[in-house]
Amino acid sequence: MGQKKTGGLAGVIAGRSDICTVGQEGAGLTYRGYDIYDLADNACFEEVAHLLHHGHLPNAGELAAYRERLKSLRSLPGALKRALESIPAGTHPMDVLRTGCSVLGNLEPETEFSQQRDAADRLLSAFPSMLLYWHRFHTDHKRIETSTDDDSVAGHFLHLLHDAPPSELHRHTLDTSLILYAEHEFNASTFTARVITATLSDFHSAIAGAIGALRGPLHGGANEAAMELIQRFDSPQAAETGVRGMLARRELIMGFGHRVYTRVDPRNSVNKRMSRRLAGEVDDKRLYAVSEAIERVMWEEKKLFANADFYSASVYHFMGIPTYLFTPIFVCSRITGWSAHVFEQRADNKLIRPGAEYTGPSLKPWVPLAERD
């Protein structure tokens, strides 16, 4: 157990940050001192983005101006659209976003760190546009207009996806989900962004690296894997039997467990509530019940709890979002947290370069090529 704890830097304090607490005694999950439940219940995603980027909640005038600014940054340059069109239809959309981020970094490079807030706002606005431009190009064979009148990132996303403005329930649900995913301290993708930033590299390189880290199923990719699991079962009974079998075979159940939380992921209750509500809306008789059955078995068998990725899977599914767009939605949200960490790292930078405990062979004499076996 002691050996295990040191693996993967578990429990290691790797730096200081003013941005977020995760599972801290007496605080729980907070962004800049605000409780996640207060933010999820009362804020909009743009308020949270402003909070993370600027360190304080916007007043009404600042929020209106910030929304207008984000709206004005949704169009994509022609060269980026052509690049997106040339990415094959079968590509995973996380790879599309990683490439889109890089291409934008070529077309609109950050040449000085003083441009970092512009780069952050641009990516926050452009990620839904580039993702759904590529998606609609390949699924509907349309070159869509990526500017919409929707004031919110959530509304813009759903509008581009479904080619119509979303219902208020769906807009609000996605908005809340974006708030829940916005920031989570030194998780793998954020830490990746900070490591890249610490070399004094550019903004787009840090974010492209973070997208690569988020893609994996042990991190952001878990929401897609959770959906595939839930859809495998046609009843709660089948789910119970199936998951018990998977656990007996020591398979991982995606959407459960967490490196930092030990008993509960505070984001889960919000996601679960939204999933239940949407299940009622679409008259789902299977997926929500299957999800609850899996959650029950995981607790009974392993004392493992659903993390943020488990119920967000069915939430997205009930809103008609294809599974392969789930992890990219995480990017559209977490770009806010990543950006805040890039700013913070740059403000007090030190190259991040830890040491390793060497476990290789001891020093050996050199053997010339002709004398080797």
Residue 11: Cβ within 10 Å count:
9
Give the closest residue to 314 by CA, choosing from 297, 293, 333, 299. Answer: 293
Least Cβ distance, residue 226 to ligand COA (angstroms):
7
Q: Is 9 in the site for ligand COA (CB under 6 A)?
A: no
* Options 54-62, 133-141, 192-200, 247-255: segment touching ligand COA (CB under 6 A): 247-255
Angle ∠(315,294,285) on CA atoms, nearest 5: 55
Selected range binding ligand COA among 67-75, 192-200, 205-213, 250-258, rule: CB under 6 A: 250-258
Catalytic hit among 53, 156, 170, 258: 258
- Let me know if 258 is a catalytic residue: yes
Minimum distance of ligand COA from residue 194's CB (angstroms): 18
219 is catalytic: yes
Cβ-proximal residues to 291 (8 Å cutoff; 6+ apart), any chain: 230, 275, 310, 311, 314
Binding status of residue 331 toward ligand COA by CB under 6 A: no
Q: Output the CA torsion sign for 169, 170, 175, 176.
A: positive
Instruction: Single out the catalytic residue among 121, 284, 309, 341.
Output: 309
SS3 164: coil
| Selected binder of ligand COA within 83, 222, 329, 340 (CB under 6 A) | 222
Angle made by CA atoms 260, 225, 207, in degrees to the nearest 5:
65
Per the annotation, the verdict on 54 as an active-site residue is no
* 264 near ligand COA, rule: CB under 6 A: no
Instruction: Kindly identify the residues of this chain, within the stretch 300-319, that bind ligand COA according to CB under 6 A.
Output: 302, 304, 307-309
Q: Tell the smallest beta-carbon distance from residue 254 to ligand COA (Å).
A: 5
Restricting to residues 54-113, name those near ligand COA by CB under 6 A.
none
Contacts within 8 Å (CB) and 24+ apart, 64-71: 67/151, 67/152, 69/121, 70/46, 70/121, 70/124, 70/125, 70/153, 71/125, 71/147, 71/151, 71/156
- Name the segment binding ligand COA (CB under 6 A); options: 14-22, 31-39, 214-222, 322-330: 214-222
Among 127, 132, 133, 134, CA closest to 89: 134
Q: The tokens of 54 are what?
A: 């600027």
Nearer to ligand COA, 69 or 219 (CB): 219
List residues with catalytic annotation. 219, 258, 309
Residue ranges that bind ligand COA, judged by CB under 6 A: 4, 8, 10, 218-219, 222, 252-259, 302, 304, 307-309
